Structure formats: structure tokens, C-alpha cells
Amino acid sequence: MSGFRHRLSSTWGEFLNETSLHGCKNIVAKQNGPVKRTLWFLCFGIMVGTLTYTTCTFYMKYVEYDFKTKTSVRYHPRLEFPAITICNLHPLDVNDFNKSNSIDRKNHNESDPLLLDGENFDKLNPLLLEYFEQWLSNPSTLNASDSKWQVFRPKVSDMIKLGFRLGDMILKVFRNEQLLLNMESQFSVNFRGPAEKCFTFNGRYFNETHYHDPLMFHANDKIAFILDTKQDRYAFSSLTAGVRLILHRPEEPFHALSPTIRLSPGYYHQIKVSERRYKYLSSPYNSYQNQDCLHVDMPRKGSGEYRPPYSHASCVIQCLTNHTQSLCGCIIESLHYDNSSVFCTVAERHFCALDIWRSYFENGSSDFSDCKKPCLEIKYDYELSSVLFRPRKLSSFITDFNSIIYVKISFKDTAVTTTSHEPEFDFGDIISQLGGYMGFCVGASVLTLVELIQAALESLKAVRLHRYLLVKIPKELKPNPV
């Protein structure tokens, strides 16, 4: 027993005499009298309490997971140009509703660039035209429970042919004053909302068959579109004429909530684009509007397959698709579809699919809570200037300038503004804060902690040896039975 006590006393005595904790030294120093040792004990206790309080306060502040915002600007030699989506404010062409209208195959020139996006000269289904005529001209007259609408199922091929064709709206595309040919490979067709057909330039999400390398622009590069709103061919009366223009990342889709720019006909519009990047912190910081964000992978390509990276818009569209398929057993044209998709009948469309679609885009829904914002988000700011125009060089193929839109899009500059959220306390801050508290209050450091751990381990070793001897020695001294 005396050996055990001696070993413990020797271990802790050596620690107290050699440690940098000066208060401990003076508490046990033999040259100090009882009064001085008591005063040192009180001072050391107060400083230990102060250290405990400051450490706990720092910990409570750390677990609040506060963050700070940092903004930086970096110039790049080139930037990836955004995707440009163009939608006519009036989606339907009056010619589609002229059931006797047909195209003269004999006099038609197959190389005519105004007939693009897969037009095949077949007449549209009269029932499809009747449905849209009733729905869009006077929705109250459409009785979706009518027996003919219970079985009529619009085809996506007819939906794509319905309304203005690519060549009707987009007359010319120029890059740095050079005319782009073979426009059908430059655009993809999809729907922003029900019956709102749009054409996307430089998009990769809906244009997987025409995957292309990123379109990189210098500061002086520009793209120009000559658009025709075809307002003289609007199927129904419309208060406004023009197009919606949406700027978005090439690998991201667009939908009804995507920010749009409205362009009026008869004007020359110039759009200067600036790229902004936002870096958020994921859980537990939740720096995006107190919501968790998702770290995403870069796009993968190889073996002929292109997989776009995660985006919030693509997640919303996929969730809407899955939700509509599970509840209605079918989908509508503004959702994600493939060759195996079943399109809704008119009755299913109005009594189920459109209600789900409107419910999300008007009110939001908890069913899409799994669609998190990416932690890295790229947005495009723009400056729009518009003037009336009568360009002479367009007069050779344009007669009605009141329906024409000339729009030129370029980067304002190649500077990228990055707004990033960073933890208020990083690892270095934690070390410096705790080290400062320990050094100021009790004169301790990391090496002091190592000494304390070493003394604790030696004490534990002495305890285990003592317990071992208490068990083994009595057994050895016990006499053997005869």
C-alpha cells in the first residue's frame, strides 16, 4: 500500500513542480506558508472558474454556427456563355386552327430555313385544335368531363408542332456578325408551362442528342437574334406582344418560376450580362435562407453519355413528374418525358395534372422539400437598353418591322463576382481562442495538456498494478490443501 501511495505522490509531485501551471506550483510549494498557499489556491480557483466560463461561452457561440459573408471579384480571360431560352408571349398560331390550311409539297423548298424543329407537314388533330381553342379562348366553355375528352390523349409530337415553329420566330442568329447555319442543332424545344413552347440556344439539359462543348466568350464576343413575334398570326386576342427571354446555365432546365426578361417588338434590345456566384454553407450552418444546401458533383461525360449535374430546377421538374405520374398515372408536356411516358387525356390533364402543376408554382408544396438548393449557385445579372430601330440591312427579308425584335447579348465584362459564406470560426480561430484563454487564465498550453495526460496515464498504470497485486499475492500465499 505504501508503495502505491508513494508512486502516486511521486508522479503528481513531479507534475506539479515542473508544470507551467504556476498556481499549482505555489499551492504545493514547501517554502510557502499556509496563508500564501491558501491565497494561491483561491487565485488559482478563480482563474480556473474564469477559464471554464469563457470556454463554455465560446462553445455556446460556436454551436450557433454563425457565418460571415465575403465578396470577391475575379477577372477571367473567357467565361462560359449562358443558355438563352426564348418563348413567345402568345403560344398559338392562328394557322394551326385553320383546318383547311395545308402546305403545298410540290412548291415547297426542302432547304427552306424557316421550317425547322421537326415539322412534318401532317395536319394537326382537329380534336386537339378544338380543345385548345375552347381552353384558351374561353376556359369556362370547356367541359373536361365530356366523354370525348375522357379518351382523347394529346401526343407530344402534336404538342411540339402546335404553335409557332422555330423558323417562324427565330429568323437569323449571328455570332460576332457571322451567321450561324444549321439552327436546328443549336436549339432544343421544351415547355416553360402547359402549352408554352420555348426554344433554348446553347442548352445542354434538353439537348442531349446535340451535346456540345461549353460556349466560351471573351469580353467583346456577342450573340445576336432577329426574332419575329408573328403577332399578326396570334390565334386569340392578346394584350401584349413580344417574347420572354430567360438566361440560365446551359446544364440547367427552366420552368414557370425562372426569372424572365420581356422584350417588346419594334425595338433593338441590348443585354449586358454579368455572372455572379454564390457559395453557401451546408448543415449545420444552413446559410441559404436558414435551409440546408447540397454539394454537387461536376457534370460527367464519357462513353457517349452526358449527365448534367444536380440543380434545384431539375429536381423540381423531376419531382413534379414523379408526383404527377404517381397520382394521375400520366404526365403533361411541361414535365420530363421520354419514349415510355404516357400523356394525360384532356380529362386527366384538367382534373389532376394541371392542379398539381399549379399548386406547386402558385403555392409551393412540402412534397418537394427534398429539392435542396446547390451550395454553389450561378446567377446572371443583366442590364437592358432598348431603342426603336429600322435597320436598312434587314429590309431585304423583313417588311413588317413592328413585329421584329433585334436583340444583342454579350458579357458586360469577364469579371465574376463571388459572394461566399464562411464559418465565423475556423480551426485556426478555435485553437487561438482556446489557447489564449488557457494561457491568460492559468498559464497553460497544449504541452501542459500533454504533461497532464502523461501524469494521468502513469497514475492509471499505478492503479492497475496495485489492483493486480491485491488479487495475485493473496492467491500465492493461500496454503494448498493436503
**Amino acid, res. 218:** H
- Cα separation values, 48 from 45, 133, 426, 471, Å: 5, 82, 25, 39
Number of domains making up the chain: 2
Q: Is 428 helix (H, G, I), strand (E, B) or coil?
A: helix
Residue 295 to residue 291: CA distance in whole angstroms: 13
* The model's pTM: 0.76
Q: What is the mean pLDDT of the chain?
A: 81
In a shared domain, residues 29 and 135: no
Does residue 78 share a domain with residue 192?
A: yes
Domain that holds residue 381: 71-307+374-423
Both 172 and 234 in one domain: the answer is: yes
In this predicted structure, what is the pLDDT of residue 77?
Answer: 93
pLDDT for the residue 106: 37
**What's the average model confidence in pLDDT over 402-415?**
92
40 assigned to some structural domain: yes
The answer as to whether 265 is a domain residue is yes
Indicate the DSSP class of residue 309. Answer: P
Instruction: Specify whether 19 is located in the same domain as 138.
Output: no
Element spanning 307, H or E: strand 305-307
Least confident among 11-20, 311-320, 399-408: 11-20
Asked whether the bond before 284 is cis by omega within 30 degrees of 0, the reply is yes
Q: Are residues 209 and 182 in the same domain?
A: yes
Assess whether 284 and 150 both reside in one domain: yes
For residue 482, being part of any structural domain is answered with no
Whichever domain contains 225, its CATH number is: 2.60.470.10
- Domain match, 183 and 235 both: yes
CA–CA distances in Å: residue 457 to residues 11, 40, 324, 361, 451? 10, 27, 64, 63, 10
Handedness of CA 92, 97, 101, 105 (dihedral sign): positive
Indicate whether 279 and 220 sit together in one domain: yes
Using DSSP bridges, classify how beta strands 261-263 and 243-248 pair: parallel, antiparallel or unpaired. Answer: antiparallel
pLDDT per residue over 198-253, tens digit each?
A: 999 998 887 555 556 788 999 899 999 999 999 888 888 777 889 999 999 998 99
Distance of CA 248 to the CA centre of its chain: 11
Burial tier of 126 (Cβ tally within 10 Å: 0-12, 13-18, 19+): exposed
Are 136 and 56 members of one domain? Answer: no
Percentage of residues of the chain with pLDDT beyond 90: 28
- Model confidence at 450: pLDDT above 60: yes
Residues 275 and 406 placed together within one structural domain of the fold:
yes
Candidate from 43-47, 311-315, 322-326, 368-372 with smallest mean pLDDT: 368-372
Is 164 domain-assigned?
Answer: yes
Residue 83 lies inside a defined structural domain of this protein = yes
Whether residue 279 is found in the same domain as residue 397: yes
